[in-house]
Amino acid sequence: MNKTMPTRTDVPELNASLRLRVVFDDGVRLGPGKADLLGLIAEHGSIAAAGRAMKMSYKRAWMLVEEMNTAFQNPLVESSRGGSQGGGAHLTATGQEVLTAYRGMEQRLTEAASKELTFLTGLRVDVSGGK
């Protein structure tokens, strides 16, 4: 039996999203975790605080920042050590451009696939037990 794609009113509210992972030819990856880390660094002004917000160790957050900084022509994050002035980190102009481009791709892909995401959501079983 051939099913037609339901309309928005035929299915429950959309409870699905796409997860974008960009894989470059050299194997470097930029995905949702790194994008979230960049966004949280911009928000908190700190690699450590961004890591804590993601329930990630400072060492892991720092490693991901270093990985991103070496993967692009210019660093994405600049940091300064603590001390009397306190340390901190911020996105460079390139970092902001990379984050903006990534979020833009995410949004456009989700919009382009919304019909299919709605359809797939409508086919799912309610595992919440009506809660």
List, in order of start, the domains of the chain with CATH numbers.
20-121 (1.10.10.10)
Count of C-beta atoms within a 10 Å radius of residue 91 = 20
Of the pLDDT bands very low, low, confident and very high (cuts 50, 70, 90), residue 12 is very low
Please identify which residue in the block is written with the tokens 């991901």.
Answer: 64
Token pair listed for 81: 């050590």
Q: How far is C-alpha 35 from the chain's CA centre?
A: 4
Of the pLDDT bands very low, low, confident and very high (cuts 50, 70, 90), residue 113 is very high
The pLDDT of residue 83 = 57
Largest CA distance in the chain: 71
- CA-nearest of 91, 87, 119 to 103 is 91
How much is the pTM? 0.80
The pLDDT of residue 125 = 82
What's the half-sphere exposure (Cβ side, CA atoms, 13 Å) at 34?
Answer: 24
The pLDDT of residue 13 = 55
The neighbouring-strand residues paired with 78 are 90
Classify residue 89 by its DSSP letter: E
